[in-house]
Structure 1
Amino acid sequence: MTEETQRGASARPVFKEDEHLPFWKRWMDTDIWHSYKKSPVIIIASIAFMLLILSAIFAPLISPYTPFDPGSLNLMNGFTEPMSKNDFTGDYFFLGTDDQGRDVFSTILFGLRISLFVGLAAVLFAMTLGVILGLISGYLGGWVDGVIMRVADIQMTFPSIMVAMLLYGVGKGLTPPDLRDEMALVVLIISIGLSEWVQFARTVRGATLVEREKEYVQAGHLIGLSKWAIMLRHILPNVTGPILVIATISLALAIIAEATLSFLGVGAPKTEPSLGTLINVGRQFILSGEWWILLFPSLTLLALALSVNLFGDWLRDVLNPKLR
């Protein structure tokens, strides 16, 4: 090596990854964070979603009243308008009260807890079922793939809300009568989850068909790894991107599905009302002039579904290089 070559080599900068940097500093250097900072709509949507989640989590602390405790209700407070005091009791209600004297703001906080819990649990159930079936279908192929995909194709011919309603009716009928109120939310979660697994399964199957032909999968076969080990430890981590996107979008769909079922009277029980139940209650009084009982729960549901949808659309774009 000549002296000039040696000088050029010594002058060449050396890039070394600093593995000791905190996680948040490494995260701030990623493309996802830079895309997030440049999207004011996504920032507003994520802040709104986090505020709704925190409001639901800390509802017992934030709520000025306990709306679903019969002992704390006062019928004299019924139909109090927003931001006004009741003429009989003198109590002040920020968002007014419903026909039973329940504070609408407090009912929204507790109803939000039910809607978020059912939505998140249903998506986790649908994701688990869909990912497992998608991995099995894409990796094994053959008649197993044919059976799973034909079931998925048949289910996709029906609206998901119809499937969820049918499954909820069947599950409610199979539940013992004395346990129906206690098991209502569980049956609702399973019904919505079984109606939403298809998107996960089809996406994971398509990604698995691509991944199973790659060299690292063949190497796993050569060293004697089992099929489950290859699917769960090697293929699954490489298909998590699409799964996260579908899970985010499915969360909004699950929340809307729960609200629709509860609005129709076949969802959450009246003892544990969700946003859909509150909207159904408000619908009964919209023509008599008590507009706030319907408006505020509807706006809360709109804000929740819209913020999740916007975040899901952004996540899909940022995780797909072809859409950048």
Structure 2
Amino acid sequence: MSDTKTPSRLFRLWDSDIAYSFRQSPLAIISGVVALVIILAAAFAPLIAPTNPYDPSSLNLMDGFTPPMQENAFTGSTFLLGADNQGRDVLSTILYGARISLFVGFSAVIFAMVLGITAGLIAGYRGGWVDAVLMRIADVQLSFPSILIALLIFGVARGFIPPSQRETMAIWVLIVAIGLSDWVQFARVVRGATMVEKGKEYVQAARVIGVNPIRILLRHILPNVMGPVLVIGTIGLALAIIAEATLSFLGVGVPPTQPSLGTLIRIGQQYLFSGEWWILLFPAVTLLALALAVNLLGDWLRDALNPRLR
């Protein structure tokens, strides 16, 4: 029985409107392939990377500033994308750095999504002073750039962490800072959709028969507001990755011992005008390709879930 159900489910998924829209969009296919390749390469970095850039025993300072595809005159080593100032293989640093950027991006978006959906459901369903308070907080936060809010939250949070634990907790503090700066978009969209859904007959019927409000929110309203949330989450992933890179570039992100793409770009920027262009170029191209691919996927998903465009 299960063997017959699985192919039928896969066929229905393949024959769905979203899958058809994806197959008919070359830009979405290219973006999906680029994003998938970068994500898989980062996930399997320990198996793909030529060296472990975080292992000091595998580094040789004499390999520093080796250009791409050129043999080092002292050690005879050759690196596909060159070596940085510490003699680390740039390809390996990109693969490992992308892991951190993607982890921070996904975690921050999930945190912002959970917080925003919860606030939006409560504000839209309860209304009254609860709605007024939550939305005024959202309005105040929207009046400031999200990167400044993330900087403020990051600085305040680090002030409460003992100095001995700041480096180990830096990534988690960064996730919380980015998540708290991006929850407003989710909350506003979910609030508006909840206010529409709670006036429909199926919700009114559930309230009449005494269904628990939490059950109504989770079982009836939440599934009907997830479409716009997925679109915002996809686009928010690209923004979260860029926010992490920006904070790391400014020197307030992940620690230097665990460099992300933003940290690699900051390091490469220091040597750009001295001729070592590859240290900056390849991490920057990777970040650009990842953010652009995720953004284009978000644009496609927005159009695919829009019933007016079907």
Counterpart code for 2:289: A
Q: Secondary structure at the match of 1:260?
A: helix
1:74 correspondence with 2:60: yes
**Counterpart in 1 of 2:308?**
322
| Distance in 2 of aligned mates of 1:140 and 1:19 | 41
1:162 correspondence with 2:148: yes
| Distance in 2 of aligned mates of 1:116 and 1:221 | 41
How far did 1:28 drift? 1.9
**Counterpart in 1 of 2:78?**
92
- Deviation sequence 1:278-317 (CA, Å, 0-9, x none): 0000000001000000000000000000000000000000
Question: Larger % of helix: which?
Answer: 2
**Counterpart in 2 of 1:248?**
234
1:148 correspondence with 2:134: yes
| Distance in 2 of aligned mates of 1:19 and 1:104 | 47
User: How do 1:41-80 and structure 2 match up within 5 A?
Assistant: 41-80=27-66
**Counterpart in 1 of 2:273?**
287
**Counterpart in 2 of 1:230?**
216
User: How do 1:117-156 and structure 2 match up within 5 A?
Assistant: 117-156=103-142
How far did 1:22 drift? 2.0
Q: Secondary structure at the match of 2:85?
A: coil
**Counterpart in 2 of 1:3?**
none
Q: Secondary structure at the match of 1:180?
A: helix
| Distance in 1 of aligned mates of 2:19 and 2:125 | 34
Which of 14, 23, 30 matches 2:9?
23
Q: How many residues align?
A: 307
Task: Report the TM-score when normalising by structure 2.
Answer: 0.97
Task: Report the TM-score when normalising by structure 1.
Answer: 0.93
Which of 247, 251, 264 matches 1:265?
251
| Distance in 2 of aligned mates of 1:313 and 1:227 | 34
Counterpart code for 2:197: E
| Distance in 2 of aligned mates of 1:23 and 1:62 | 34
Which of 148, 167, 173 matches 1:181?
167
Greater radius of gyration (CA): 1
Q: Secondary structure at the match of 1:250?
A: helix
How far did 1:321 drift? 1.3
How far did 1:320 drift? 0.7
| Distance in 2 of aligned mates of 1:171 and 1:20 | 47
| Distance in 2 of aligned mates of 1:272 and 1:20 | 42
Ranges in structure 2 where 5+ consecutive residues have no aligned partner: none
**Counterpart in 1 of 2:199?**
213
- Deviation sequence 1:139-158 (CA, Å, 0-9, x none): 00000000000000000000
RMSD: 1.1
| Distance in 2 of aligned mates of 1:20 and 1:204 | 33
- Deviation sequence 1:31-53 (CA, Å, 0-9, x none): 11111111111101100100011
| Distance in 1 of aligned mates of 2:218 and 2:181 | 24
| Distance in 1 of aligned mates of 2:134 and 2:70 | 57
1:171 correspondence with 2:157: yes
| Distance in 2 of aligned mates of 1:21 and 1:169 | 52
How far did 1:130 drift? 0.1
| Distance in 2 of aligned mates of 1:84 and 1:303 | 25
How far did 1:323 drift? 3.5
| Distance in 2 of aligned mates of 1:289 and 1:256 | 26
Q: In 2 relative to 1, CA 45–156 (structure 1 residues): closer, same or farther, beyond 3 Å?
A: same
- Percent identical among aligned pairs is 64
Q: In 2 relative to 1, CA 74–30 (structure 1 residues): closer, same or farther, beyond 3 Å?
A: same
